[in-house]
């Protein structure tokens, strides 16, 4: 055996791990592709910047809540997160509609996780987090704060009521 081939000799165990690593990478790539393009799981976008000190006084945040864009089909929901509640803490939309959430914080960093949907992001003072979802089943979908924000963190919650199609 020449010196060159000795240098590129790969131990069989190491080779197996190299193959396993490549297979794992391919699995991760497939998982991300399926999640992103087939299950609709998206990375929250920083929709726009706002001044956390004045955002609550300026439209659309001065009147947080549901906006009907196309009746029964498309809705926007503006939510303000603050210690230790969400405004509004009760939201009602019809089943099957596309609902886009715009969430921001007026004080510290909060979270916004909407049960049984793809919505789960941080609510950061100065930034607006935006994600869309469609509720396929009527019912009550709770949302909770998922970032520790102080003593009242555990009670910071609300709920979306999804009604039968109008």
**β-strands 98-105, 74-82: how paired?**
parallel
Task: Decide: is 156 part of the binding site for ligand CUA (CB under 6 A).
Answer: yes
Closest contact distance (angstroms) between CB of 156 and ligand CUA is: 4
Task: Decide: is 149 part of the binding site for ligand CUA (CB under 6 A).
Answer: yes
**C-beta separation of 47 from 131 below 8 A:** no
Return the range that interacts with ligand CUA (CB under 6 A); candidates 30-38, 62-70, 133-141, 142-150. Answer: 142-150
Return the range that interacts with ligand CUA (CB under 6 A); candidates 10-18, 38-46, 67-75, 146-154. Answer: 146-154
d(CA 33, CA 152): 38
Smaller CB separation from ligand CUA, 103 or 149:
149
* Among 148, 155, 161, 163, contact with ligand CUA (rule: CB under 6 A): 148
Smaller CB separation from ligand CUA, 97 or 122:
122
Smaller CB separation from ligand CUA, 98 or 153:
153
Sheet containing 110-114: give its strands across.
Answer: 90-94, 157-163, 139-144, 110-114, 120-123
By C-alpha distance, which of 104, 100, 146, 148 is closest to 125? 104
Give strand ranges (E) for 10-156. 45-49, 65-70, 74-82, 85-87, 90-94, 98-105, 110-114, 120-123, 127-134, 139-144
* Size of residue set near ligand CUA by CB under 6 A: 7
Task: Decide: is 110 part of the binding site for ligand CUA (CB under 6 A).
Answer: yes
**β-strands 90-94, 157-163: how paired?**
parallel
* Among 103, 145, 159, 160, contact with ligand CUA (rule: CB under 6 A): 145
Smaller CB separation from ligand CUA, 78 or 86:
86
On the CB side of 151, how many CA atoms lie within 13 Å of its CA? 0
Report the interface residues with ligand CUA, using CB under 6 A.
Answer: 110, 145, 147-149, 153, 156
């Amino acid at each position: 055996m020449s010196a060159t081939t000795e240098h590129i000799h790969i131990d069989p165990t190491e080779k197996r791990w190299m193959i396993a690593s490549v297979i794992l990478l391919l699995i991760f790539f497939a998982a991300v592709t399926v999640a992103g393009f087939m299950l609709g799981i998206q990375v929250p976008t920083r929709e726009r910047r706002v001044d956390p000190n004045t955002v609550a006084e300026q439209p659309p945040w001065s009147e947080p809540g549901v906006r009907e864009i196309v009746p029964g089909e498309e809705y926007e929901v503006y939510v303000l997160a603050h210690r230790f509640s969400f405004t509004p803490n009760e939201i009602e939309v019809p089943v099957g509609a596309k609902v886009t959430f715009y969430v921001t914080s007026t004080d510290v960093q909060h979270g916004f996780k909407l049960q049984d949907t793809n919505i789960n992001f941080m609510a950061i003072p100065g930034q607006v987090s935006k994600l869309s979802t469609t509720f396929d089943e009527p019912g009550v979908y709770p949302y909770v704060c998922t970032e520790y924000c102080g003593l009242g963190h555990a009670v910071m919650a609300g709920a979306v009521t999804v009604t039968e199609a109008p």
